[in-house]
Amino acid sequence: MLWINFLHLYQPANSPSYRIKEAVEKSYWRITDVLEKHHNLHFTFNISACLLERLRDEGYGDLLQRWKLLIQSGRLELVGSAAYHAFLPFLPESEVDYQITRQEEIIKEILGVDVKGGGFFLPEMAYTPALAKLIKKRGYSWLILDEASLVLKKYIPVAIDENSGLKVVIRERLFSNTYLPDLINQTDETNLASVIITATDAELYGLRHEDPEQELEKMLSLKNLSTQSVSVFLAAQSELKTVTLKAASWESDLESNTQAPFIIWRNPKNKIQKDLWLLAELALELGQGAQKDKNYYWYRWHLDRGLASCMFWWASAKDFSHNFGPIAWSPDEVEAGLNDLIRSIRALASASSLKYKLKTEKIANRLRYNLWRRHWQRYWLASDKND
């Protein structure tokens, strides 16, 4: 059995230090340990640049050094992405370019790796034809996508995107939305596929799913198991089929051709998300041509954090228990991102920013009211049902 395992390592740039520590101690150390102990093990990582910055600043230089050595040994492959995990489908091309460039720069600075020419991870695997063309233009050669992007009814592991010419590797939901070591260790080998492609958050391994019986280590000891990086796997494929791909994310509905593939992050019926996007668009518009403003650095610093997809995700109230996650509802998490958006707009000193600031305060007040009203209504209604 050949296992192609893609791991996404990410913590928001505005996460408190204890969350970074928790992810390191429960997941990142463990994954690093198994890579070091199993010399034939090969994984592909997307490490968001904002996480790399936090690991460096929080004093995890030893972890970064171990990753450097694994990269140099060829057992760990890195890909490009958006530095601050922005939700790219709804952002202007200039902002997408900025996010990709910063990812390239920070990976080069901290890990010494040039990711151009290799693979690319779209945050939330949120594919659109326009984004694929931009990624191709930036010099990348392949994408990893969810099978929800396939127009074909039948799953295929690799293909060529007709729209962009990029190679694509397709993760399998059946295996990616479970804890694979549990499944493999409990299944007769004769019933397993010859190739299994998974792509998950790295935090699945320890932080989001405890593994007291060390099922991962047991799986890695199987004699018939082999692994490859995504690039090595793709290089061995011949006569790839050219396919049409559709806009989708790794949470899009597989059963329907929805007209709103990114509804988790931008639901037109969700008043909170609607106002969050209004603020995001105001902040982006205000920043155009403001590079000479004396406070531009702080505008950009807050905007990076305020555009992260997490804020919109936490406002969705969707249940992610199917994928080892929580119900995506947290007014505190929404406010953390909201505050950064507001501060990005407040930061600029130009007189022309006044109308943006006044409009921002009005939208923010309305947003906070709706956010906490919904929260307390949900809380008290749930409490009443349990009494």
Q: What would the pLDDT profile of 49-66 be if each residue is shown by its tens digit?
A: 999 999 999 999 999 999
Q: pLDDT (tens digit, 9 = 90+) per residue, 225-268?
A: 999 999 999 999 988 999 999 999 999 987 765 678 999 999 99
Question: Which of 186-190, 311-315, 365-369 comes out lowest in average pLDDT?
Answer: 186-190
**Cβ-Cβ contacts under 8 Å for 371 (sequence gap 6 or more):** 272, 315, 331, 334, 335
| 339 pLDDT higher than 90 | yes
Backbone angles phi, psi at 133, to 5 degrees: -65, -40
CA 253 to chain centre: 18
Taking each helix axis from N to C end, the angle separating 61-73 and 49-57, rounded to the nearest 10 degrees, works out to 130
Average pLDDT, the chain: 94
Q: What's the CATH fold of domain 2-243?
A: 7-stranded beta/alpha barrel (3.20.110)
Answer yes or no: pTM beyond 0.75: yes
Radius of gyration over every alpha carbon of the chain, rounded to an integer in angstroms? 21
